[in-house]
Amino acid sequence: MAATAACSLQMAAVKPCISSSHRGVKAGVAVVGGNSKGASWTKLSSASHISSGQPFLRSFTSSSVKFDKVVTRAMAESSTNKPISGLPIDLKGKRAFIAGVADDNGYGWAIAKSLAAAGAEILVGTWVPALNIFETSLRRGKFDESRVLPDGSLMEITKIYPLDAIYDKLEDVPEDVKSNKRYSGSSKWTVQECAESVKQDFGSIDILVHSLANGPEVSKPLLETSRNGSKKYIGRKSKFQGSKLSFTHVGGSSLSLTYIASERIIPGYGGGMSSAKAALESDTRVLAFEAGRKHRIRVNAISAGPLRSRAAKAIGFIDTMIEYSLANAPLQKELSADEVGNTAAFLASPLASAITGAVIYVDNGLNAMGVGVDRIELEYKLLVKSTTLNCVFSVSA
């Protein structure tokens, strides 16, 4: 393939480096009936790739995990005729709308960068109360370091649209919100109005990214979440995706961000967010069929691991979630936003032309775990208990 292909992405190899200080060892050997169970522990620890020693205790007070970040490299046009190495992701000529970008440290921003590195034109939708700060920071160059693409150029955002996806149309907006000073100076920010504005400005888009986060009652347990709060969050997740798909270009791609709380219990992940994520994943499958049959649009979701973003900090225990992932995921490294961005670029590209209705996990493999590694001590105790019972039954017989 000629080097004149506009842009492509390559994934750099990741070599996690796990410091020995990240693990703890509990001294002592369990003894049952005068026989050491050290051999049983050795067998269990070997099978689980745990460092040799006795039952294992994980400390969450500090983490010395080191890792090499995945780097997205965009290969720009070259004057030489040397063939491009690797498999290119080329989105030149495509237009992407990313909803839910209000700073430079979340998944939405990382996805925008990866799409831009692959050649796509970038439009973003920003929550109205955060719009002024975001635009000012962008204009004053506060995000310039974060805007740098692999080829050294800066990511350009063609246009920023005000957006509050809680409200489908203007008639749905309460008077107190309309008169709120945080919304003053902005207009056409409901889902329907935003969609119409983008359509008027550009006609259609090729890539839709749904990275909206947080509900109005995110810090509340589900038992204490009001019906209104839960409805707002679920409505924000599903209605936005369906409305925006209406003018996504035929053959385009839609992506959403979800989380493992849609299918597993994550205590503290409240406000109806887990229910909304489950609804979002269901909508992903249904819309994959409907939009696929009608417009040949592919609809997928990325289930991303925990990230220390502004939105995630509102949950209140994001650091604990990251520590838990570091301790228990098959790949012991902190997840970077770029890794989610690169996955989004792949799913939006022709390389993923047969993938739709899928939830892709980008979480270092944490979703695959049944029992956390930090519970290996529990497994060992159960093993010892089982062995003890077998001995008792054998003696009784």
Amino acid at residue number 31? V
Neighbouring-strand partners of residue 96: 122, 207
- In the residue annotation, 277 being an active-site residue is answered as yes
Please choose, from the candidates 112, 142, 139, the residue with its C-alpha nearest in 3D space to the C-alpha of residue 338: 112
Neighbouring-strand partners of residue 209: 98, 255
- In the residue annotation, 46 being an active-site residue is answered as no
Helix H or strand E segment including 241: helix 227-245
Contact 188, 197 (CB under 8 A): yes
Helix H or strand E segment including 162: strand 157-163
Catalytic residue among 238, 253, 254, 309: 238
Contact 58, 167 (CB under 8 A): no
Neighbouring-strand partners of residue 95: 121
CA distances from 223 to 220, 237, 354 (A): 8, 21, 41
Q: How far apart are CA 163 and CA 37, in angstroms?
A: 61
Please choose, from the candidates 283, 216, 225, the residue with its C-alpha nearest in 3D space to the C-alpha of residue 254: 283
Please choose, from the candidates 339, 342, 347, 327, the residue with its C-alpha nearest in 3D space to the C-alpha of residue 363: 339
How many other CB atoms are there within 10 angstroms of residue 75's CB atom?
21
Greatest distance between any 2 Cα atoms in the chain:
84
Catalytic residue among 37, 277, 303, 336: 277
| Residues classed as catalytic | 238, 277
